[in-house]
Amino acid sequence: MIHLTNYSSGANYCRKTLLKGVSIFVYRNLKYSTINIDKYNVDKDTEACAIQLDSAFDKLCILTIDGSPRGDFTNFLKQLDLILQKLYNNKYNIIIFGDVNVNYLKDNNRRSQPDAVLHSYNLVGITEFPTRFGLNSQTAIGNVFIDTSTSGKYDLYPLINGLSNHDAQLLILNTGQKEENECHTYTKRKINKYTIADFQLKLSHETWEAVFDGNDVNKIFNTFPNIFLRIYYSSFPLIQTKSKMN
């Protein structure tokens, strides 16, 4: 029922029993493919859709997700983790646009719960301005989550478009190629007392449901190191270091 000039519906999810849902509209000249994540959707709890966008970024995945205020927040976090696990295992470069019903202008326990999930995939919220204005309140319930270690330079702006009870957000990524360094560089992992503490914190938040609830011993055997290494790689990212010149 929705038509946007010069845009096509790249992916969407409509509720089975109620109105509303989520959609991604793609500009006509851009090439993309739809990523099927329908099995993770639960009306009101978790509603999401995703596409892979052909671009200068390698395997760029756009994920949009919404959780209703009347939904089960615990189940929302569980399904979000399963979705990100699927995308991460397929080595997507993930960008999330979502309404997670958490005000990111406040640092509290409710915010720490989705952050624990997102940080294990090296994703952080970058919206630092209000996106919804009430008579006596300002909130940032809608947010953009990216991996700042791989996305390079970016800009994020509020965009008032009159289509929603939230302001839109405009994310601009710098797709320019990095200048080659004449000096020799090598790659190592960033391991220090801060990244070790981050690693321990993420491990403490991991539920290991995929391991404990599994029935196939071979699958469980592979799942444990996959989860462990995912957290390890997010806590100890690869960094490039210049070699000293003699």
33 phi, psi to nearest 5 deg: -140, 145
Quick one: average pLDDT of 71-90? 92
| Structure confidence at residue 56 as a pLDDT band (50, 70, 90) | low
Q: In this model, does residue 246 exceed pLDDT 70? A: no
C-alpha dist (Å) from residue 167 to 36, 101, 115, 157, 162: 28, 14, 22, 10, 8
Quick one: average pLDDT of 71-76? 91
pLDDT of residue 183: 60
Alpha carbons 148 and 145: distance in angstroms, whole number? 9
pTM over 0.85: no
State percent of the chain over pLDDT 70.
Answer: 93
pLDDT of residue 184: 65
pLDDT in tens, 177-209: 544 445 667 778 889 998 999 999 999 998 888
Quick one: average pLDDT of 31-41? 93
48-62, 179-193, 220-234: range with lowest mean pLDDT? 179-193
| 239 vs 33, residue with greater confidence | 33
| Structure confidence at residue 62 as a pLDDT band (50, 70, 90) | very high
State percent of the chain over pLDDT 90.
Answer: 36
Beta strands 21-27 and 32-35, pairing class: unpaired
Beta strands 138-139 and 185-189, pairing class: unpaired
Domains contained in the chain, CATH given: 7-173 (3.60.10.10), 185-242 (no CATH)
31-35, 91-95, 141-145, 236-240: range with lowest mean pLDDT? 236-240
pLDDT in tens, 155-179: 999 888 777 778 889 999 876 554 4
Quick one: average pLDDT of 137-153? 84
| 18 vs 154, residue with greater confidence | 154
